[in-house]
Amino acid sequence: MIIQKSFKYELRLTSSQEEACCQIAGACRFVWNKSLALKKEAWEKDKKNIHRFELDRFLTEWKNELDWLSFPPSQSLQQVNKDLDVAFKNFFRRLKEKKEDPGFPKFKKKGRNDSFRIPQGVCLADQLSKKVGVVKVPKLGKFFFTKTREIEGSIKHATISRMCDGWYISFNCKVEIIDPKKEKELIVGIDRGVKRFVMCSDGKEIKGVSPFKRNSKKLARFQKELSKKKKFSSNWGKIKIKIKTIHLHIRNIRKDFLHKASSQIANSHSIIVMEKLQTKNMTKSAKGTIDNPGKNVTAKRGLNRSILDQGWYMFQQFVEYKMLWTGGRVVYVNPRYTSQRCSVCGHTSKENRKTQTFFCCLSCMHKENADLNAAKNILAEGHSVLACGVEALASAMKQELQARRPSTV
């Protein structure tokens, strides 16, 4: 099986190389904004889409007019039009699906997500030392990077991007893995919680990290300082960088944790049963709509923040692809009643769960940790999904949706 994997490293640029990267990223941003403006106009005027080949022709014109636009590798600029094409395809798809916010592609601002892609011709040269890798970039020459781990497979393309603490290169590689097969069938149900990140049906648990919570005081302090400074002054800029660095730090901790947690679960099981959680909908619901304003907005917001904080959605994605790589599979079940049902006798009632942490069945008096009880229910649901196929789940979900839909008078 061939999979795509990316490997990201910090670049060690000379000042002239850094300047070149800034220029290319700026040129890419320029092309993005110019092309987007054209596409936006065509769309707003007559709901038309300009194809990227047409945009590439405009690009040639712009290059003739502007000298500095001929410095970046042509392919990097053409790549921008390709990316824009994808952004519009996604927009049209969401429009077709009648999504609340189809997300029209946005203009890019200087200093935010500066990056460019080198679609072809990137290759590695002999390493300078054990820790310093060398990459040859067409038109730009040799770049050094801090090699923190080995690159696997063959490089397809590379992306150079700026984070608040420097420039990075990410290699996208084609990696061949031996068709995996798990040695034994091991199925587990997992319940995702706020207090405990994951509770497994076999009683194992993974505690979460809340990097945002841990850094929130520091962030608030800098944000307050920032508000006192004159906008765009040099001191304002310094604090802004500090804030960005904290955000990056938070992101890194979270990602690292999610990788470890997902590997731990994926490596030791062949089937993982999870609830299908719509994290996006959950985070949206706190505010409610104008007709139906949300209750307990602050409390829900707190919960929502910790959901986002722990990155369940990312976790779900990590588990999914890691299971694919290791030959396992993920089964999703309907989250209905999993926290209210007794895992021993099946009695389902809100009253069974008097507190967030404790479950006590009113019918058979079974007492258990509430998350563990839920994980066992999820596992049981998983077994029935596997036994009767996916169709059963789909129809159950449909019924549930229809039941929830308010009747129109």
**Residue span binding Zn ion (CB under 5 A) among the ranges 105-113, 272-280, 298-306, 342-350:** 342-350
205-207 β-sheet, strand order: 205-207, 196-200, 187-192, 271-275, 329-333
370 binds Zn ion (CB under 5 A): no
Look up 101 and say whether it is catalytic. Answer: no
Query: Considering beta carbons, is residue 79 or 339 the nearer one to Zn ion?
Result: 339
Q: How far is the CB of 261 from Zn ion (least distance, A)?
A: 30
Query: Considering beta carbons, is residue 132 or 345 the nearer one to Zn ion?
Result: 345
Spatial distance between the Cα atoms of 28 and 223, rounded to a whole number of angstroms: 31
φ and ψ at 329, to 5 degrees? -150, 160
**In sequence order, what are the residues at sequence separation of 6 or more whose Cβ sits closer than 8 angstroms to the Cβ of residue 151?**
7, 124, 133, 171, 173
| DSSP code string of 136-176 | EETTTEEEEEE--S---SEEEEEEEEEETTEEEEEEEEEEE
362 binds Zn ion (CB under 5 A): no
| Per-residue contact flags (x/-) with Zn ion for residues 301 to 340, judged by CB under 5 A | ----------------------------------------
Q: Which of 135, 140, 361, 380 lies at the binding interface for Zn ion (CB under 5 A)?
A: 361
309 close to 212: Cβ distance less than 8 angstroms: yes
φ and ψ at 19, to 5 degrees? -60, -40
Can you read off the two tokens belonging to residue 139? 């038109």
342 binds Zn ion (CB under 5 A): yes
Q: How far is the CB of 375 from Zn ion (least distance, A)?
A: 16
What is the total count of residues that contact Zn ion (CB under 5 A)? 8
Query: Considering beta carbons, is residue 8 or 366 the nearer one to Zn ion?
Result: 366
115-118 β-sheet, strand order: 115-118, 154-163, 166-176, 2-12, 141-146, 132-137, 123-125
366 binds Zn ion (CB under 5 A): yes
Q: Which of 229, 251, 259, 347 lies at the binding interface for Zn ion (CB under 5 A)?
A: 347
Catalytic residue among 85, 114, 205, 275: 275
DSSP letter, residue 51: -
Look up 320 and say whether it is catalytic. Answer: no
92 close to 39: Cβ distance less than 8 angstroms: no
Q: How far is the CB of 273 from Zn ion (least distance, A)?
A: 21
34 binds Zn ion (CB under 5 A): no
Query: Considering beta carbons, is residue 317 or 363 the nearer one to Zn ion?
Result: 363
Residues with catalytic roles = 191, 275, 371
- Residues lying near Zn ion in the complex (CB under 5 A) are found at 342, 344-345, 347, 361, 363-364, 366
